[in-house]
Amino acid sequence: MSLIYTRSIGRSLSQLGSLRLRPVLCCRSWTALRGISATTRSHADARLDLPALDSKWQQKWASFPQPAHGTKHGADGKYVLPMFPYPSGYLHLGHLRVYTIADVVARFHSLQGRNVLLPMGWDAFGLPAENAAIERGVDPATWTKANIAKMKEQLGLMNGSWDWSCELSTCDPSFYKHTQKIFLLLQEQGLAYQAEAEVNYDPVDKTVLANEQVDANGCSWRSGAKVEKRKLKQWFLRISEFRESLLQDLDVLAKNEAWPERVLAMQKNWLGKSTGANVKFPIMAFDHDMHAAIEVFTSRPDTLFGVQYVALASTHPVVSKLAAKDPELQAFLDTLPGLPPDSKVGYMLPHIRAVNPLAYHEETPDAAKRSIPVYVAPYVIGDYGEGAVMGVPAHDVRDHAFWRTHHYNEPVRFVLAASEDESTTAMVNDPFVDHGIMTEHSGLFKGKSSKETGGMLVAMLEKAGLAKSVEKWRLRDWLISRQRYWGTPIPIVHCGSCGAVPVPDEQLPVALPEVDEHWAGKKTGNPLETLEDWVNTSCPKCDGPAKRDTDTMDTFVDSSWYYMRFIDAHNKGEPFSAEKAKSMLPVDLYIGGIEHAILHLLYARFIFKFLMTSSSLVPETGEEAFFEPFQRLITQGMVHGRTYINPSTGRFLKPDEVDLTDPLRPKVVATGETATVTYEKMSKSKHNGVDPTDVITQHGADATRAHMLFQAPVSEILDWDGDKIVGVTRWLGRVHDLVVKLGSATTATEPKTPRSYFEDTAGRLDSLDTQELAQWDADVAVWRDVQKTIASVTASYEKVYALNTVVSDLMSLANTIQENSGTLSEGIQRQAVSALLRMMAPITPAFAEECWSLLGFQAETGSMFRGEGKASFPVVDGTLDLPLLQPRKQTCAVQVNGKLRAVVDIPKPGGLVGDQLKEWIIQEILKTDEGKAKLANGTVDVAQAKKVIVIKEGKLVNFVL
């Protein structure tokens, strides 16, 4: 009986011993129990060089032709995709983690007999490359392509199984030709349009920035410059047309935890659907020509009686009009870009007051009839609702904080409470934000449900022309224009007679011109704007003079459809064929960071829905069909690096400033103080970055991959500690030793399955001698553990988030096999090792290949993953439930302090000795009904015994309490 489940992985690792490995092989068939001549090797002859194995098998894999991925749908297909990288020039450990996860899952499905597509490409456009080009005086294409070559070489070191036959780069004209085609399909249906918009403009990089590219201080995340607000004519994609589908289909993605709940919540919040009413607050203006009313959107009309102020966005028309004549107001507006988004500052407009529309009803309480101040507040968003909010300090957290900042000595007015008899003054320091019962401050509505009251108030105000029921969305149309060079040119020409005219298909791509002088001169700005030979062209409609659009597209446009190009990467005429789209999409498993949970995923969902339901690329699709690009989404945690901090100064220490003579007590070299150790996001400033190439070169890709997975569940932050890789290499060494001892089978005997072996032998148990019975017990214990591990590991591979438990389960199985190896029959041992290697293969592919070949099952023209020698992932064979495979029982007399307390039947210990036997036997005794009743109560609890004496291999046990 195996003890592996009663010991910690830490103890298991401590027993692994030193190792130097060479690859092992697995058997696909049962080798005979006797008559096998095994080739043995001494430990010295079998030194394991993991980096050398990487090189050996990378070369062999490269010599095999790529399998055709063909169709995907059905049991024989799987499309696994990690989010493609930006070619910055180097891979970091975050890259290594996501690509390891993707490759492991892809190899697992391949071993299960599925046709797997695992592509790789490059998100190659973007401002970083343009800034690098300006800084270095080189063409961004040159810089980008050099980075791609370097990163591709690094990817080749990690034992991945990428299908390079469908590699793509978004900066390649053969790709962005189709990005332009998709843009024109959108424009054809009115889903791409130009409009004036207030944008974030970076005066240093001279380009528009998305909101997420502006930090909390109102500065560009790249140049650091203070961002300006400008009105520019920009291109938009009408994503709002798909908002209902984008929202409703989140419910489908939530089923069976296909997408993480956190991501679904973020998507839902970004879409921001809310129902409520537009309410008009009449205004009183003194010596100013103003609108008759300020219109406010509210989703909580039940709180109207509690409005104590109105707040306007800085861009509200009323504010703009007043600022033209009020220099103090204008000065305040000039400070807003530098304020954090949660700032509580405000400017009370001195010349206007607002009136609650309920003030015109005679039964409204006097407090709600008084005029209220109007503020300009940075927390009010100009492009949501009407750019105005009604301030209800008693029932909104932000409004409460704002009111307390500006009216700290004035009470808030609670107009609803949790229950009818609850005192409203009891919550004076905390807003009540839920629905409840209307209070006395609500006039005639006192005691009514707030939800019911809200509807009644809106209906009443609608009759007076002061309100209207509406539906609002936070989502805004997607602004894609960027005033920069390194992006997909917008395929539009502007004609004085014809307006904005699409570039004909036969003239695509509109390619980026070479502007070497611009880069050589390290000039900023968009060179397309001043390149007259490129800008000036003829109109495709009237052939008159026209000008090309000089904006390029947001790089999110490229990433919104790249996963669709992978399935048909060499199609010159179309982005992809309808047949391949229908057979190979959606992506089965999409893997990437949580930082892309909103925009990238939202835009990809939008473009996929458009192309699959509304474009000419995929005709004849039903309107009721469900179209989502990523069937299942896996978000992996970040990788944090170890930092050393000077406790006296708080400064991050460089590697040469830390004395690691005693790794458990790192010292500050300059002072001798013990350094503070933390794990934080890797960065140059913290001196905690780790080059994955260095780790792979030292330890090998397989050990690095296994360690990466073993250290933390996929979804959690991984605190990288490279010192602990030795535990994984010891495990690999132990497995390698098992393989080397087994050697290559040479028997020609008819193969047997483990099940047939157990069934044949079970009928002869009474005639077996002691040694043969010990072998039977060992075989049963190991094979039961094999079956349990197959079930557990298969489930963990399929779940993905539990990949760390795959490594721990396989370590435990290796220990079980090793502990019983002296007693096991060779046939069971080969089958157990074979199953172990096939389960390890997705994580440690080169190591598994080598071991597979050592066992003699490696074909000359194939490998475990492809060709003639391809292995299959093990499956449970049903033996675990067979009565004959239950551990043999023996009678155990249990004494406590020398007195007999119970007689129980327990399994035979199967060769266990020492502390392992004692630990196991306590558990087995307490599993029995009599053991639970007599030996695990308050008076007698053998688990607390000071001493355990085991006699005759467990037939008699004495517990000394």
Cα separation, 12 vs 732, in Å, equals: 13
pLDDT in tens, 791-821: 999 999 999 999 999 999 999 999 999 998 8
Decide if 921 contacts 927 (C-beta within 8 A): no
Long-range own/partner contacts, residues 794-803 (CB < 8 A, 24 or more apart): 794/873, 794/875, 797/104, 797/105, 797/108, 797/842, 800/101, 800/105, 800/589, 800/591, 800/634, 800/714, 801/634, 801/713, 801/714, 801/715, 802/713, 802/714, 803/101, 803/104, 803/709, 803/713, 803/714, 803/843
Instruction: Give me the pLDDT at residue 212, please.
Output: 61
Instruction: Give me the pLDDT at residue 870, please.
Output: 86
What's the average model confidence in pLDDT over 311-331? 91
**Residue 640: burial class (beta carbons within 10 Å; 0-12, 13-18, 19+):** buried
What's the average model confidence in pLDDT over 722-740? 94
pLDDT in tens, 506-526: 999 999 999 999 999 988 889
Whether 15 has a pLDDT exceeding 60, the answer reads no
Q: Retrieve residue 492's tokens.
A: 């539009």
Q: How sure is the predictor about 822, in pLDDT bands with cuts at 50, 70 and 90?
A: confident
- Chain-wide mean pLDDT for the chain? 87
Instruction: Give me the pLDDT at residue 761, please.
Output: 85
Decide if 705 contacts 158 (C-beta within 8 A): yes
**Least confident segment among 41-45, 315-319, 411-415, 651-655:** 41-45
**Least confident segment among 34-43, 530-539, 636-645, 798-807:** 34-43
- 469 pairs with which residues across the strands? 277
pLDDT in tens, 471-487: 989 898 999 999 899 99
Q: How sure is the predictor about 188, in pLDDT bands with cuts at 50, 70 and 90?
A: very high
Minimal CA–CA distance to 593: which of 8, 12, 101? 101
Instruction: Give me the pLDDT at residue 622, please.
Output: 54
**Residue whose entry in the numeric block shows the structure tokens 């002061």:** 466
Q: Retrieve residue 449's tokens.
A: 């449900």
Whether 826 has a pLDDT exceeding 70, the answer reads yes
pLDDT in tens, 108-151: 999 999 999 999 999 999 988 988 888 899 999 999 999 999 99
- 115 pairs with which residues across the strands? 77
Whether 30 has a pLDDT exceeding 60, the answer reads no
R_g (Cα) of the chain, nearest Å: 35
Alpha carbon distances (Å) from 376 to 132, 169, 348, 386, 398: 40, 47, 6, 14, 14
Q: How sure is the predictor about 915, in pLDDT bands with cuts at 50, 70 and 90?
A: confident
Instruction: Give me the pLDDT at residue 313, please.
Output: 92
More confident position, 661 or 858: 661
**Residue 588: burial class (beta carbons within 10 Å; 0-12, 13-18, 19+):** buried
Instruction: Give me the pLDDT at residue 76, please.
Output: 79
Q: How sure is the predictor about 383, in pLDDT bands with cuts at 50, 70 and 90?
A: low
Instruction: Give me the pLDDT at residue 291, please.
Output: 65
Whether 4 has a pLDDT exceeding 60, the answer reads no
Whether 349 has a pLDDT exceeding 90, the answer reads yes
Decide if 757 contacts 764 (C-beta within 8 A): no
Instruction: Give me the pLDDT at residue 199, please.
Output: 81
What's the average model confidence in pLDDT over 886-909? 86
Measured N-to-C along each axis, helices 599-613 and 243-253 cross at an angle, to the nearest 10 degrees, of 110
Report percent pLDDT > 70 for the chain. Answer: 90
Instruction: Give me the pLDDT at residue 901, please.
Output: 87
Whether 42 has a pLDDT exceeding 50, the answer reads no
Whether 21 has a pLDDT exceeding 60, the answer reads no
Instruction: Give me the pLDDT at residue 216, please.
Output: 66
What's the average model confidence in pLDDT over 926-953? 83
**Residue 878: burial class (beta carbons within 10 Å; 0-12, 13-18, 19+):** exposed
What's the average model confidence in pLDDT over 776-783? 89
Whether 229 has a pLDDT exceeding 50, the answer reads yes
Instruction: Give me the pLDDT at residue 364, please.
Output: 93
Q: Tell me which DSSP letter residue 37 carries.
A: -
pTM (two decimals): 0.83
More confident position, 26 or 774: 774
Cα separation, 236 vs 876, in Å, equals: 55
Whether 492 has a pLDDT exceeding 90, the answer reads yes
Instruction: Give me the pLDDT at residue 27, please.
Output: 35
Q: Is the peptide bond before 140 cis (omega within 30 degrees of 0)?
A: no
**Least confident segment among 454-468, 560-574, 601-615, 937-951:** 937-951
Q: How sure is the predictor about 14, in pLDDT bands with cuts at 50, 70 and 90?
A: very low
Q: How sure is the predictor about 952, in pLDDT bands with cuts at 50, 70 and 90?
A: confident
- 228's enclosing H/E stretch is strand 228-237
